[in-house]
Structure 1
């Protein structure tokens, strides 16, 4: 590690986006990427982990068993001070990570997700019906972007959608980087207690939902009730926050790129829509705080040696803008073949719910602009509140009209 004097001279991470460029990674990341694939940065606690800026090196390290996702290991580069988290298999290593992941992966396979497409289409159409029948302008986040994935994940998990205001509010606090640790901890505890209660009720009201399946694991002794509740919290937060932000932020960037929006609105080609989803995922990469790891052994990569015990951060947003992997990377091109992006990560910790997110986004992007062809922003871009303070990027509100 560098000493304290050197640390004060390092670039702070995460950085600040340039004024007027809310869809692009911070310019400091691009500067580091141009210098080389690895650099030291300074975190909130003064630690100086390695930052990996290029696509090839990120993929290599994300697939390398010599790096650990275990948040409890010394040297792990934490997002925020201790106090806001809950146990999660995504912050564990195999074999425990694999054991717990297998318990919840069945509903997220491509085949199972495709059986949900008609139901998601109905949800999207009904919400658009409500939009068109209601007043305008309207906040697209509140009226559409949040309800779509919230309704879907509630149905999949077996969580009452009537409680959406509670779990959406608590989720926002858990993933806010600048929330005081005690507030994040309290919000995480409220969510865990809530899911714990639902798990406790499932034996008396069993069904085919995921919480019922986790309850069966509790009854067989494979999980404790609290572990099942914590897994439910992870799936609930990830299942609505990320997709909601992609719906709203994707819509905003398309409104700022009318030629690309017209291709989606007027094309009607499912393959074009599917490709556009991959390009929007690449272009925006809303998980902008970086994949965090710690080295278990010395690793030579990118002309540097990462020593055992040193932290590693891999911001997927700048890797997905690597010109060595994606020519003209800062241009949004819905006809680009962007399938190799790493917005969902890579390796054994690749996002469990990526098939569900893709399907939801395909339905949304393939329906909203066709049914509301004159959709437009009802505010200046500078007045749109972006989530610079969150671990998931997006907008707090998106006023639109038509």
Structure 2
């Protein structure tokens, strides 16, 4: 596996652009799992605002330069409302089910503001920092279980998914008895090939579980996020039950899927780069910076910022007309050499690493502090406790998730 990085594959800026009458297909596959698609290099140089054709047959715009992505995501003229006709959904049933359930990440102010104000106190740096001992206990227990199994094992369900799902369940106060249930829900709801009916069925099972727990918290609240949402917002009428179910559901799905993928991809990268593994083992204090660099390099939520122009918006000399769909490419921005010199190089001491892997602007990921904590603890513990960890299959047998909302690994057989 070790495909060349974008910085080692120069793209001549004098190359002719594709036929403008036929926008390129999007999404664009990655050639290297630890980088943006190579085509993004050409886009930044020649078509920083480019037309694309989506799997739905609709056309939209993609924006690939760092400054342009930040400008776009901070522009009040851009909308995240999934109900808009030209919303650039990438999955078959994504817009239909999203318009029905209204996840708060696909809404605009003042509705979106109301949800963020409700959730922000639960995800502050201070509150998340206080969770570190609990996260460490979870990680140690899950690693004990993995090491007790007969090698080789699939690292994704036994560790990456188990850590991310257990932590988000710990935060919410949800029993983490069936970790694969949550993974299955996300696998269906996050696939670009799932129909609206399939997504609705998967989410229906999740909402039924949450609804039963809400009823329990109504009678006997505890010291967890779900209880605080029930007591402080559902009982007071700040939020309806369907809104609460949607909010908790998206928190589980988005929180566990991104962390699962990042833990697995970061582990694979370290297994293929023993020099980086040794650097972290020699100086564990580098782990927060390493996590930040992994987030930038992977940018697994590349095309999550789906938007519609509410008015005409000019970006890098191109006007995106009102009502057109537009996608801010996070991986394109995070591999922009104007912002990150030699962007394909992994540097734990990279200065001013202000990446946009968590998005930017009013919709920036609300759970980013929790994600960083999970990655730091999961990777540090793994490196420290399993120094002999290694792949159990050839590189070419590793399957990647190219057709999911976030990029990741399907299976990662490892041994020790």
Which position in structure 1 is the counterpart of 2:23?
10
| 1:361-380 alignment, distance < 5 Å | 361-380=375-394
- Give yes or no for contact 2:56–2:90 (8 Å, CA) kept in 1: no
Tell me if 1:135 matches 2:141: no
Pick closer, same or farther for the CA change 1:84–1:338 going to 2, 3 Å.
Answer: farther
SS class of match (1:105): helix
Match for 2:276 among 248, 257, 260?
A: 260
Q: Deviations over 1:217-246 (max 9, x none)?
A: 222111111111111101111221110110
Aligned structure 1 segments of 4 or more residues deviating by more than 6 angstroms: none
Tell me if 1:37 matches 2:43: no
Please report how far the alpha carbon of residue 338 of structure 1 lies from its aligned counterpart in structure 2 after TM superposition: 5.8
Tell me if 1:72 matches 2:83: yes
Please give the alpha-carbon distance, in whole angstroms, between the structure 1 residues aligned to 2:207 and 2:69: 33
Match for 1:273 among 259, 281, 287?
A: 287
Tell me if 1:54 matches 2:68: no
Tell me if 1:120 matches 2:135: yes
Which position in structure 1 is the counterpart of 2:311?
297
Q: Which 5+ residue runs of structure 2 have no aligned equivalent?
A: 1-18
Q: Which 5+ residue runs of structure 1 have no aligned equivalent?
A: 1-5
Which position in structure 2 is the counterpart of 1:391?
405
TM-score (ref. length: structure 1): 0.94
Please report how far the alpha carbon of residue 142 of structure 1 lies from its aligned counterpart in structure 2 after TM superposition: 1.5
Tell me if 1:224 matches 2:240: yes
RMSD across aligned positions (CA): 1.6
SS class of match (2:198): helix
SS class of match (1:281): helix
Which position in structure 1 is the counterpart of 2:3?
none
| 1:200-211 alignment, distance < 5 Å | 200-211=215-226
Match for 1:337 among 328, 336, 351?
A: 351
Q: Deviations over 1:160-196 (max 9, x none)?
A: 1113332221121100111233211211222222222
Please report how far the alpha carbon of residue 382 of structure 1 lies from its aligned counterpart in structure 2 after TM superposition: 0.9
Please report how far the alpha carbon of residue 119 of structure 1 lies from its aligned counterpart in structure 2 after TM superposition: 1.1
Which position in structure 2 is the counterpart of 1:3?
none
Please give the alpha-carbon distance, in whole angstroms, between the structure 2 residues aligned to 1:196 and 1:386: 33
Match for 1:242 among 254, 258, 261?
A: 258
- Give yes or no for contact 1:84–1:174 (8 Å, CA) kept in 2: no
SS class of match (2:399): coil
Please give the alpha-carbon distance, in whole angstroms, between the structure 2 residues aligned to 1:286 and 1:93: 24
Please give the alpha-carbon distance, in whole angstroms, between the structure 2 residues aligned to 1:96 and 1:363: 34
Which position in structure 2 is the counterpart of 1:355?
369
Please give the alpha-carbon distance, in whole angstroms, between the structure 2 residues aligned to 1:308 and 1:316: 22
Please report how far the alpha carbon of residue 8 of structure 1 lies from its aligned counterpart in structure 2 after TM superposition: 6.5
| 1:92-241 alignment, distance < 5 Å | 92-216=107-231, 217-241=233-257
89-98 vs 290-299, greater mean Cα deviation:
290-299
Please give the alpha-carbon distance, in whole angstroms, between the structure 2 residues aligned to 1:84 and 1:331: 39
Please report how far the alpha carbon of residue 268 of structure 1 lies from its aligned counterpart in structure 2 after TM superposition: 2.2
- Give yes or no for contact 2:157–2:180 (8 Å, CA) kept in 1: no
Pick closer, same or farther for the CA change 1:70–1:211 going to 2, 3 Å.
Answer: same
Tell me if 1:320 matches 2:334: yes
Please report how far the alpha carbon of residue 31 of structure 1 lies from its aligned counterpart in structure 2 after TM superposition: 2.0
- Give yes or no for contact 1:69–1:294 (8 Å, CA) kept in 2: yes
